[in-house]
Structure 1
Amino acid sequence: MATFVLKVKTKSGQNLVKGLTGKDKVSQLKSKLSDLTGIPQIALHILGGFPPKALDLSKEDVALEDSGITSGDTLIVEEKQPPVKPRQQLIERGNNTVPRSHIIDTETLSNSPGVLMKQIVPADNSCLFTSVGYVLNGKVDTTCASFMRDIIAESVSSNPEEYSEAILGRPNGEYCEWIKKADSWGGAIELAILSWFYGLEIAVVDSINAIINRFGEDQHYAQRVFLMFDGIHYDPLYLEPLDGGSIQTIFPTSDDTLLIQATELAREAKSSRQYTDVQKFTLKCMVCNVMLNGQLAAQQHAKDTGHMNFGEVA
């Protein structure tokens, strides 16, 4: 019997699963994936295909050759905790946020009312990636950034015609090296790729202009998540239920109730000036350590020197 070889990608890198055959069971694959990633079997979230979609591997006694997975496939493995009962809910403790009871399947969403709220994530140049990780998993996990940066670099490098120098603002290869660096900021290009990769609409509440920019809107995805952008920093949004139950971060796109609430949130944020004036904040060139006052100064410095890595100075 021929060996069944699978490539596995996680936020920490990629590996190969060997030692299986097509006759082996899905349960055996899950066991190997759990050993490889350190993720408990009950929390395994496995995606496959192109674009990647969640695989239903709930029937563990099915042979791999009948599961829809074939030798040579690439599996993306994430950790996604199952829903827990409200009484098991954990709370936020200062700035050290621990996982809360988190609804991860829109089919389990109750109709109980709630309030859209912002979860603060670290301002460490990876806030966009940490925010996307939060709406997917219900917890602040800064380690997910490197995984998402690799996904973006792979997507860009494999499609040089779509992601040309004119679109990226730099050569394709140079961009791919740049986005992998921990001090490189994410923006519209990265949001569009992550929307495609995870197969959901990412609605960004812009508190500067009091508008919502929806990435993936034209793809008619079934699910939507929300982020807030204040000019330089991204934070995730979640629905806090009035009954004290589980928080919600993923919503059906067929329901525009949260879009209306998010629009009101954007207007309130703008009226109360909850945004960053990008012409007044200080940036540091991470190449030559020059301090720059405002976005225009940073743009001119990049034009004059070719330096493209900047970090915000608190």
Structure 2
Amino acid sequence: MTRNNKKLHLTVKAGYPPHSLTLIPELPLESLGLKQGEQLIVTQKAEASREPSSSRSQPVAAASTNTRGPMTGLIASQAHEPETPAPARIAAPAPSSRGPGPDYVEVDGGYLVHRIVPDDNSCLFSSVALVFEQDIKKAPKIRQIVADEIRKDMLTWSEAILGRPRDEYISTILKPTSWGGAIELSILAKHYSTEIASVDVETGRIDHFAPPTDGRQQDSGNRCVLIYSGIHYDAATIAPILDAPDEFHQTVVPRETDGEGDAVLVAAKKLADALRAKKAYTNTATFDLRCQICQKGLKGEKEARAHASETGHVEFGEY
């Protein structure tokens, strides 16, 4: 390819870790075995027609094979498995040196970036909306998905499991002031057929919310990452370069393992380490809460649960 009398050398990669695709002009794109929605990373090295250039390749953009519109963020499994996968390179976590900005950890093929969502009582739903819908404004849609699933599956989501009458729980979770937790993450993992890995900043523990394997639906084999501070959820997504636009972030990756062998989980724990070093977490045993209904001051999750049990009030805010 040439542009402005310069010859452009392009490299196209797909999958995670990214691997180069062999492009043959005579063959159609279908021959590459790509799946709809899969992210492509394109790098270029400009070379003058008369004189070779020594400039290094620079990422120019990540493209998508989704032909229906903007990239969905639901990245399919690798089109081709490399014969010998290269080990992931995980760098020591460090905040951006270019001034205020999100924390990140280097991974093979890009950066795992802390994607901060508003602290508005809808953080779990906003984070999931960012991952699966690419729009935090769709948090109400995520709440509705949870409500619909609880309403539909009376056996799984019984009053005993929910801790209160089903209709009351549904009504509460649809309110923009209500928090979400393990129940909501379990439902959303099933809905999107994708494991949600929630990394606790204070302890480094990873809680895995996996889609059911009862044969009633297909597991995509993918995983996304959320960061949990004790009272707040954010997302973590992979950017091909640090300044990549949001739409080029890979929000879901193929699931490798559940332990130390998974490059993304290792990076997620390192990201939690960086946030812990900055005290970016809240100890729920000692933090101060206020009931948003009766305005009573409470200390820690234990008092909040006791207050909810005594009064039925389940809307709290930190102060």
TM range (shorter): 0.5 to 0.7
Q: Report the alpha carbon displacement of residue 101 of structure 1 after superposing the two structures with TM.
A: 7.8
Conserved? CA contact 2:72–2:132, under 8 Å = no
Amino acid of the residue matched to residue 185 of structure 2? L
Alignment correspondent of 1:238? 237
Alignment correspondent of 2:198? 204
Q: Report the alpha carbon displacement of residue 146 of structure 1 after superposing the two structures with TM.
A: 1.5
SS of equivalent to 2:199: strand
Matched, 1:145 2:111: no
| Deviation per residue, 1:60-85 (Å, 9 max, x gap) | xxxxxxxxxxxxxxxxxxxx9x9898
Matched, 1:105 2:87: no
Query: Following the alignment from structure 1 to structure 2, what is the Cα–Cα distance between the partners of residues 273 and 218?
Result: 35
Conserved? CA contact 1:101–1:247, under 8 Å = no
Alignment correspondent of 2:25? none
Query: Following the alignment from structure 1 to structure 2, what is the Cα–Cα distance between the partners of residues 217 and 193?
Result: 8
Conserved? CA contact 2:75–2:250, under 8 Å = no
Conserved? CA contact 1:84–1:101, under 8 Å = no
Cα gap change, 1:259/1:217 in structure 2, threshold over 3 Å: closer, same or farther?
A: farther
1:157 maps to which of 124, 145, 151: 151
Q: Report the alpha carbon displacement of residue 104 of structure 1 after superposing the two structures with TM.
A: 4.5
Conserved? CA contact 1:83–1:104, under 8 Å = no
Amino acid of the residue matched to residue 169 of structure 1? G
Alignment correspondent of 1:291? 297
Matched, 1:261 2:267: yes
Which runs of no fewer than 5 residues in structure 2 stay unpaired? 1-36, 43-58, 63-69, 81-85, 87-107, 214-218
| Deviation per residue, 1:248-296 (Å, 9 max, x gap) | 2110113722122113333444455331122333322222222323222
Alignment correspondent of 1:175? 169
Structure 1-normalised TM-score?
Answer: 0.62
2:129 maps to which of 128, 133, 144: 133
Query: Following the alignment from structure 2 to structure 1, what is the Cα–Cα distance between the partners of residues 317 and 79?
Result: 39
Conserved? CA contact 1:102–1:138, under 8 Å = yes
| Deviation per residue, 1:28-75 (Å, 9 max, x gap) | xxxxxxxxxxxxxxxxxxxxxxxxxxxxxxxxxxxxxxxxxxxxxxxx
Q: Report the alpha carbon displacement of residue 194 of structure 1 after superposing the two structures with TM.
A: 0.6
Query: Following the alignment from structure 1 to structure 2, what is the Cα–Cα distance between the partners of residues 189 and 159?
Result: 13
Structure 2-normalised TM-score?
Answer: 0.61
Matching of residues 276-287 of structure 1 within 5 Å: 276-287=282-293
CA RMSD after TM alignment: 3.2
| Deviation per residue, 1:225-249 (Å, 9 max, x gap) | 1100010000000113248553221
Question: Comparing both structures, which one devotes a greater share of its residues to helix?
Answer: 1
SS of equivalent to 1:125: coil
Query: Following the alignment from structure 1 to structure 2, what is the Cα–Cα distance between the partners of residues 146 and 305?
Result: 27
Query: Following the alignment from structure 2 to structure 1, what is the Cα–Cα distance between the partners of residues 283 and 79?
Result: 37
Query: Following the alignment from structure 2 to structure 1, what is the Cα–Cα distance between the partners of residues 294 and 256?
Result: 49
1:304 maps to which of 301, 310, 314: 310
Amino acid of the residue matched to residue 257 of structure 1? A
Query: Following the alignment from structure 1 to structure 2, what is the Cα–Cα distance between the partners of residues 115 and 156?
Result: 36
Query: Following the alignment from structure 2 to structure 1, what is the Cα–Cα distance between the partners of residues 126 and 165?
Result: 26
Query: Following the alignment from structure 1 to structure 2, what is the Cα–Cα distance between the partners of residues 117 and 129?
Result: 19
Conserved? CA contact 2:111–2:239, under 8 Å = yes
Identity of aligned residues (%): 37
Q: Size of the alignment, in residue pairs? A: 222
Amino acid of the residue matched to residue 249 of structure 1? T
Which runs of no fewer than 5 residues in structure 1 stay unpaired? 1-79, 90-99
Conserved? CA contact 1:202–1:226, under 8 Å = yes
Q: Report the alpha carbon displacement of residue 103 of structure 1 after superposing the two structures with TM.
A: 5.3
Amino acid of the residue matched to residue 311 of structure 1? G
Query: Following the alignment from structure 2 to structure 1, what is the Cα–Cα distance between the partners of residues 155 and 212?
Result: 20
Q: Report the alpha carbon displacement of residue 204 of structure 1 after superposing the two structures with TM.
A: 0.8
Q: Which stretch shifts more, 219-228 or 187-196?
A: 219-228
Query: Following the alignment from structure 1 to structure 2, what is the Cα–Cα distance between the partners of residues 216 and 252?
Result: 13
